[in-house]
Structure 1
Amino acid sequence: MTSPLERLGTATASGARCVFLSPHLDDAVLSCGALMRALAPRSEIHVVTVFTATTDGPHTRAARSFLRQCGHGDATDGSTLFAARREEDRVVLDGLGVSHEHLGLPDALFRRRAVPRALAGPAARVARVLPELVHRYPTFRYDIALGRVSRGDRALGAALAARLEARLAGADLVFAPLGVGRHVDHLLTRTLGAGHPGRVVYYSDFPYDQSHARDEDFLRRHGLRAWRHDEGPEGRAAKADLIRGYATQADALFPSGVIPAAPETYFAA
Structure 2
Amino acid sequence: MSTALFISPHLDDAVFSCATLIQRLVAKGTRVVVATVFTEGSLDYPQRRDEDRKALHSLGVEAIHLGHLDAPDRMPRYQTFREIIFGWHDADSHTLQAVTHSLTDCLNQIRPTYLYAPLGVGTHVDHRLTHDSARQLRGPQRLTFYEDRPYAYAVGATELRLRELGFDGGPICVQLLLKSFRQLPHVKQFLPTGPERKLCEKWLLQPLQKQSSVLATNQLIQATDHEAWVSQTSAFYYDTQFQAFCGTLKRLKQTDLRHSQLLGSKSRRTERYWQLPQI
TM-score surpassing 0.5?
yes
Are 1:245 and 2:249 an aligned pair?
Answer: no
Within the candidate set 14, 17, 39, 2:25 is matched to 39
Unaligned runs of 5+ in 2: 169-211, 257-268
Task: Give aligned-pair identity as a percent.
Answer: 31
Rounded to whole Å, the distance in 2 between the matches of 1:254 and 1:163 is 29
Tell whether 2:131 aligns with 1:145.
Answer: no
Partner residue of 1:106?
Answer: 69
Whichever residue aligns with residue 15 of structure 2, its letter is: V
Report the more deviating stretch, 83-92 or 211-220: 211-220
1:9-35 per-residue CA deviation (whole Å, 9 max, x = no partner) reads: xxxxxx732111101000000000111
* Match of residue 255 from structure 1: 247
**RMSD in angstroms over aligned alpha carbons?**
2.0
Contact kept in structure 2, 1:136 and 1:150, CA below 8 Å: no
Q: CA 1:183/1:251 → structure 2, altered by over 3 Å: closer, same or farther?
A: same
1:111–1:136: 8 Å Cα contact kept in structure 2? no
1:161 maps to which residue?
A: 100
Matched, 1:227 2:219: yes
Change over 3 Å in CA distance of 1:194–1:90 after alignment to 2: same
- SS of corresponding position for 1:228: strand
Amino acid aligned to 2:64: E
CA contact (8 A) 2:242 2:248 kept: no
Structure 2 distance, partners of 1:256, 1:163, is: 34
- Give secondary structure in 1 for the equivalent of 2:148: coil
- Paired with 2:5 and 2:226, the residues of 1 have a C-alpha distance of 25
Deviation, 1:151, is 1.0
SS at the partner of 1:145? Answer: helix
In structure 1, the residue matched to 2:39 is 52
Does the C-alpha gap of structure 1 residues 17 and 241 become closer, same or farther in structure 2, counting only changes over 3 Å? same
Q: Compute the TM-score of the two structures, normalised by the length of structure 1.
A: 0.71
Please say if 1:264 is aligned against 2:207. no
Larger relative contact order (Cα-Cα within 8 Å, sequence gap ≥ 6): 1
The answer as to whether partners of 2:55 and 2:237 remain within 8 angstroms in 1 is: yes
Give the equivalent residue in structure 2 for 1:184: 125
Cα contact 2:66–2:102 (8 A) shared by 1: no
d(CA) in 2 for partners of 1:18, 1:167: 12
Change (3 A) 1:225 1:16: farther
> Matched residue pairs, number?
207
Q: Is the CA contact (8 Å cut-off) linking 2:114 and 2:143 kept in structure 1? A: yes
Query: TM-score normalised to the size of structure 2?
Result: 0.69
Q: What amino acid is the match of 1:216?
A: L
Match of 2:189 in 1: none
* Kept in 2: contact 1:174–1:193 (CA 8 A): no
